[in-house]
């Protein structure tokens, strides 16, 4: 996979725009999943995903071909999300502007899966309440399935730091979700 990424990056650097389209196609779902997991807003996730690919394209010459492209791309997405969330904290939007987002094309029956829905809401709230560094590790590990080494590359820290953050994040999540854990 890394060899193909390096090949596509080299083609991009030689001016082949279709090669970058292939990169976007390969990673768009994963990048969207990261941005949505961190923002919990479809519109923001769309914008941040697009910004991730724009920034990657603009900085392709800075990418070191000997490193993992996916980690580099994920790091761009994570950094953009962190900046976005900081900005939102400093300049909160009018709460009346927030819309409840439901899955499109699905019939939602509030009486079905009430317990499951409640659990999901509590899990999302618990993950959202974690400090940014711990929340990011949980999202990349548990939701994106990245390995510890790759998360360390994305977050630019050691694997032991990632293990520590994951350990304490899981500990906090267990405490917050104690009533659901058997």
The string of pLDDT tens digits covering residues 109-133 is 444 455 667 777 888 888 989 999 9
Q: Are residues 127 and 84 in the same domain?
A: no
Question: Can you tell me the mean pLDDT for 12-40?
Answer: 94
More confident call, 174 vs 88: 174
Contacts of residue 43, Cβ cutoff 8 Å, sequence gap at least 6: none
Whether 49 maps to a domain, the answer reads yes
pLDDT at position 25 is 96
Exposure string of 91-108, with b = 16+ CB inside 10 Å and e = fewer, is eeeeeeeeeeeeeeeeee
Query: Same domain for 3 and 75?
Result: yes
pLDDT tens-digit readout, 126-154? 898 999 999 999 999 988 888 999 999 98
Residue 121 lies in a domain: yes
Question: Domain limits at 130?
Answer: 114-182
Q: Has residue 1 been placed in a domain?
A: yes
Phi, psi torsion values for 32, nearest 5 degrees: -60, -40
Total of domains in the chain: 2
The CATH number of whichever domain residue 13 belongs to comes to 1.10.1740.10
| Residues 82, 1 share a domain | yes
Q: Are residues 88 and 118 in the same domain?
A: no
Q: Is residue 108 in some structural domain?
A: no
- The residue with greater pLDDT, 101 or 171, is 171
Same domain, 83 and 135: no
In 3D space, the residue among 57, 54, 48 whose CA is nearest the CA of residue 78 turns out to be 48
Q: Is the pTM of this model over 0.75?
A: no
In which region does residue 15 sit, left (phi positive, over 0), alpha (psi from -120 to 50) or beta (all else)? left
């Amino acid at each position: 996979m890394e060899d193909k990424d390096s090949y596509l990056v080299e083609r991009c650097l030689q001016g082949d725009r279709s090669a970058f389209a292939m990169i976007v196609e390969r990673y768009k779902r994963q990048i969207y999943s990261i941005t949505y997991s961190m923002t919990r807003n479809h519109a923001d996730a769309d914008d941040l995903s697009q910004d991730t690919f724009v920034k990657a394209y603009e900085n392709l010459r800075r990418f070191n071909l000997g490193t993992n492209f996916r980690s580099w791309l994920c790091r761009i997405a994570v950094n953009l999300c962190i900046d976005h969330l900081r900005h939102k904290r400093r300049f909160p939007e009018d709460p009346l502007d927030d819309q409840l987002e439901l899955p499109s094309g699905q019939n939602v029956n509030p009486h079905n899966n009430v317990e499951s829905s409640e659990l999901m809401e509590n899990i999302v709230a618990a993950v959202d309440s974690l400090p940014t560094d711990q929340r990011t590790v949980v999202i990349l590990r548990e939701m994106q399935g990245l390995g510890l080494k790759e998360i360390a590359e994305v977050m630019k820290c050691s694997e032991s730091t990632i293990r520590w953050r994951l350990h304490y994040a899981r500990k906090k999540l267990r405490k917050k979700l104690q009533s659901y854990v058997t």
